[in-house]
Structure 1
Amino acid sequence: MKKIHLLILKSFIRPFIVTFFIVMFVLLMLFLFKYIDDLIGKGFEWYVILELLAYQSAVQISMAMPLSMLLSSIMTFGNLGESYELVAIKAAGISLRKAMMPLFVLVGLFSGGAFLFSDYILPVVNLKMGALLYDVRIKQADFLIKPGIFNNTIPGYSIRAKGKSKDGKILYDLMIYDHKSSNTANNVLLAKEGYIYNSPDNNTMILKLKDGVRYEDSRARNAKVYNTRQQFTRFHFEETEQKFDMSAFQMKRTDENLFKSHHMMLNLKQLKHYTDSNALQMDSLRNTVFRETQSYYYFFSDYYKPKDSTIALSAPAPVAKSFIEIIPSDKRNTAVNNALNQVRYIKDVLNIKANEDGFYRDKDIRYRIEFQRKFTLAVSCLLLFCIGAPLGAIIRKGGLGLPVVVAIIFFLIYHIISTVSEKSAKEGNIDAFWGMWMAIFVLSPLAIFLAYKAATDSALFDIEQYRLKAEKIITRIKAKLGIKKRNTIQHPPSKSLHDDYTLSS
């Protein structure tokens, strides 16, 4: 391998690693901002948050890889162009295409790895990520006492403390309402001090109370009339324990098999299998529609038989203005009611089948979209590199200034086109293939155009060149306007011989 190839590879790998981790950090921060309400105040262990971020990092590779590929390629060739190293390479008789050949091989390996990752690793990561995120979101917030405010998070209890210690373990001037048996608080407990600690299995919270009193109203639950002789109990205690069931506050891991049939948790082979199975269900559903409604499509032949069977068959039948006139007047109401009932039944059957068919059709669309997504991730890395490399060679600016701005603009164009087309495909407006490949087909001519301009040393983004061309155009316009003004100047009329003769007379 030539030294030029090693130089270009080293110049590309360093910015790629840096930009990849920067983009990954930004995407993880966006994820945390999105689910911050589901994470704060629930008492998760540090390894649960770390596991969630690890899964999310793997999921975000599908967006971080193309963006870092575009950004690093622009920065690499921008730095080479700014330091005139590309000029030296071309002066040595090596074309830009030959100099970029090792990078094409490296990016091809990255794209192949991205395809294998999206087919084998990403479905497993999506499965574990989806199950963990579901458990995180449904977990209740931790039991937290704020001084002077009733806490109702524990089912069946309302707890208030006027104060608490700095570590939150000791509560002062406690008031506990027990309304598990009914909506009203029949049992009230007051204590001057309480100490909180958990059981060894963390499923029970124990509140050790000191110097308090407990009031119990033993009224019958279904008593509708107030009884003056009902029993009212009061207990004084120096120390007692109140236990609360905290199993609802513990995070329980859901079985991952419940999420395995989701389209994001399937690889290519499984997607093809589920697509075929879904197609068979759609065909079976559509075939049952005709069978269920066939018996309700018939003519009311019994309603328009002639009353008098002795009428000659050769007698001409009266011409009816509408179908209802064919039916005898004494049977018209029955016929109309029967027809309306049949129409309602057919309509209900069609509505039910249409909803079921729409469900299977949406599943089919999502399976096909996910099938195409496995390939578009790899191709998008190649496409954005083919846009970024010649773009950096043209603008000839390195660093994190102009290259970052240009890279973000082109990535936003790609992302907007792909998002809009994918949404249209999910809604069934376009085919899933065109919805997932639309951005690649639209930007491929741009990549070819930029590669041609970079190979021909075109100053496509040279502002000075455009300024000189604009000045030339303005000068030409001014010159043309000046010629027209000279041609339109009016000269004073010359005197005729008749006017001279009149003046002399």
Structure 2
Amino acid sequence: MKKLHFFIIKAYLRPFATTFLIVLFILMMLFLFKYIDEFVGKGVDWFTVAELIFYANASNVPLALPLAILLSSIMTFGSMGENYELVAIKASGISLTRAMLPLLLIMTVLCLTTFYFANIVIPQANLKIASTIYEFRQTKPSFLIKEGVFYDGIDGYSIKVEKKDEETQTLHGIILYDHTKGNGNTTVLKAEEGEMYKSADEQYLILKLKNGVRYEEMRGERNRNQRERLVRVKFEEHEQKFLLTGFSVADIDEDLFKNNFQMQNISQLEYSADSLNEKRRQELKRLATDIAPYYIYSRDSLFAKYEPLEFDFKDPDFLRNIDENDRELVLHSALGYMRNVKSNTSPAATQNAAAFKLVKRHWVEFHRKFTLSVACFVLFFIGAPLGAIIRKGGLGLPVIVAIVFFLVFHITSTIGEKAAREGSWTPYAGMWLSTAVLIPLGIFLTYKATSDSSLFDLENYIRFFRKLNPWRKKAVLPKKETPGPL
């Protein structure tokens, strides 16, 4: 390898390391902002927070690499162009594409690293983050209850607390509505304070209330005094038990637990998608078997026993062909058939749509693992020639240009992914939309950079539009006077 190659690699690695750490830090701060209200002041030890940050940074590596590659490529070649180093390289007979060759080896390593993180590290990191948060919420059940807000995550109950001690997890000003009887707000418990913990066998969640009152509105009965409808019981201590199966701990973690495709690699995603498709086919076959008895006109044996009558079903008066005594029976029978078919098809249609959407999400995640690694190559072939064209280094203009092109990449990726999730496009077309948009742009910029095009020279555009102006004034040169004869 020539000294020039070492020079280019060294010039590239410095801004790449800086930009990568900056982008990774920004993504880490976004993760902390997402969970800051849930962890700060909740008694979470620093080791747990550090563990979550570590796993979050590991999962953010494939997201930080494309932007870092784009920004560092623009900064490297922009700085070399600004310092006339590219001019010296071209003067020695080395083209721009040849000067980019040593960086292609680095891009290959970064692409493979991105794919490894997307396929292996991210699923494991998501699983670790989910299990850590889930374990913390299981050990501290009052974690999900917010101050001044009714919490309906317990089946059949609604609870509200005025204040919560973050250190001891003691609840103050408790209001508990019991809806298990299905009679509305007929049973209410109010207590000054209480605490929530799990039973020894971890089967029940216990809410221990202190200094409270239980109000229960009894339904009035005949021959009874109406004043006895309201029952009020004061207590110093009272334990209310809830089954842990009805405690919706996973409601907030829907993206972490329900969407488990985020914790799978490509082979697992492919297997899960095929399994879901097979399950959908089996459910459709079962549905066809269940509703087949209601379509008696499709049976061949029926026409062998009875002579069919000629009906024009488009005629609103076709019922006149049926005997008047049997007409009502026929209508009730048909209505019953339709209701039975609807009762079978409506839930099946909902389940099939949900399963179809889940299959799409699996394939979207499958293609994402490849698009992130390919994006590193594409953004490099945009950033390197773009830096050679603008010929500006540092963190000024290169950052602005990099943000613009990264926004194009991000917006097209978001549009394609949303269309793929909703089923408007196939997952393949939606996830590869940004790559299809940026590849022609990278080829165009590489061509312009190798041909020394002044693509961002403002004077060229000013001269071009001046030529298009038909009313421009032409400069009138003064006539030279010819000297007369002496």
Tell me the TM-score normalized by structure 2. 0.73
After superposition, where does 1:50-199 map in structure 2 within 5 Å? 50-135=50-135, 139=140
For 2:212 and 2:395, locate their aligned partners in 1 and report how far apart those are by CA, in whole Å. Answer: 72
Deviation at 1:158, TM superposition (A): 9.1
Cα 1:12–1:158 change in 2 (3 A) is closer
Uncovered stretches (5+) of structure 1, i.e. residues with no partner = 170-174, 190-200, 205-213, 227-231, 235-241, 307-315, 483-505
Letter of the structure 2 residue corresponding to residue 118 of structure 1: A
Q: Could you tell me whether the CA contact under 8 Å between 1:126 and 1:264 is conserved in 2?
A: yes
Deviation at 1:277, TM superposition (A): 1.0
Q: Could you tell me whether the CA contact under 8 Å between 1:42 and 1:141 is conserved in 2?
A: no
Deviation at 1:273, TM superposition (A): 1.2
Of all paired residues, the percent bearing the same amino acid is: 39
For 2:381 and 2:367, locate their aligned partners in 1 and report how far apart those are by CA, in whole Å. Answer: 21
After superposition, where does 1:85-484 map in structure 2 within 5 Å? 85-135=85-135, 139=140, 259=257, 262-299=260-297, 322-474=317-469, 477-478=471-472
| Count of paired positions | 420
Cα 1:176–1:81 change in 2 (3 A) is closer
Rg (Cα) greater in structure: 1
| Cα offsets for 1:182-211 (capped at 9, x unmatched) | 9567x999xxxxxxxxxxx9x99xxxxxxx
Tell me the TM-score normalized by structure 1. 0.70
For 1:269 and 1:215, locate their aligned partners in 2 and report how far apart those are by CA, in whole Å. Answer: 57
For 1:188 and 1:334, locate their aligned partners in 2 and report how far apart those are by CA, in whole Å. Answer: 64
Aligned residue for 1:430, secondary structure, equals: coil
Aligned residue for 1:35, secondary structure, equals: helix
Deviation at 1:326, TM superposition (A): 2.3
For 1:425 and 1:318, locate their aligned partners in 2 and report how far apart those are by CA, in whole Å. Answer: 46
Letter of the structure 2 residue corresponding to residue 95 of structure 1: S
Aligned residue for 1:353, secondary structure, equals: helix
For 1:363 and 1:215, locate their aligned partners in 2 and report how far apart those are by CA, in whole Å. Answer: 49
For 1:319 and 1:107, locate their aligned partners in 2 and report how far apart those are by CA, in whole Å. Answer: 71
Cα 1:19–1:177 change in 2 (3 A) is closer
Letter of the structure 2 residue corresponding to residue 389 of structure 1: A
Q: Could you tell me whether the CA contact under 8 Å between 2:61 and 2:117 is conserved in 1?
A: no
Bigger Cα displacement from structure 2, 397-406 vs 112-121: 112-121
Cα 1:140–1:39 change in 2 (3 A) is farther
Bigger Cα displacement from structure 2, 400-409 vs 33-42: 33-42
Aligned residue for 1:124, secondary structure, equals: helix
For 1:275 and 1:6, locate their aligned partners in 2 and report how far apart those are by CA, in whole Å. Answer: 46
Aligned residue for 2:38, secondary structure, equals: helix
Bigger Cα displacement from structure 2, 446-455 vs 120-129: 120-129
Cα 1:269–1:158 change in 2 (3 A) is closer
Q: Could you tell me whether the CA contact under 8 Å between 2:311 and 2:318 is conserved in 1?
A: no
Deviation at 1:370, TM superposition (A): 1.1
Q: Could you tell me whether the CA contact under 8 Å between 1:394 and 1:460 is conserved in 2?
A: yes
Cα 1:409–1:317 change in 2 (3 A) is closer
RMSD value over aligned CA atoms? 4.9
Deviation at 1:323, TM superposition (A): 3.3
Uncovered stretches (5+) of structure 2, i.e. residues with no partner = 152-157, 178-186, 194-199, 219-225, 229-233, 251-255, 477-486
Cα 1:455–1:136 change in 2 (3 A) is farther
Deviation at 1:468, TM superposition (A): 3.0
Deviation at 1:271, TM superposition (A): 1.2
Q: Could you tell me whether the CA contact under 8 Å between 1:38 and 1:136 is conserved in 2?
A: no
Letter of the structure 1 residue corresponding to residue 281 of structure 2: D
For 1:119 and 1:21, locate their aligned partners in 2 and report how far apart those are by CA, in whole Å. Answer: 22
For 2:71 and 2:437, locate their aligned partners in 1 and report how far apart those are by CA, in whole Å. Answer: 20
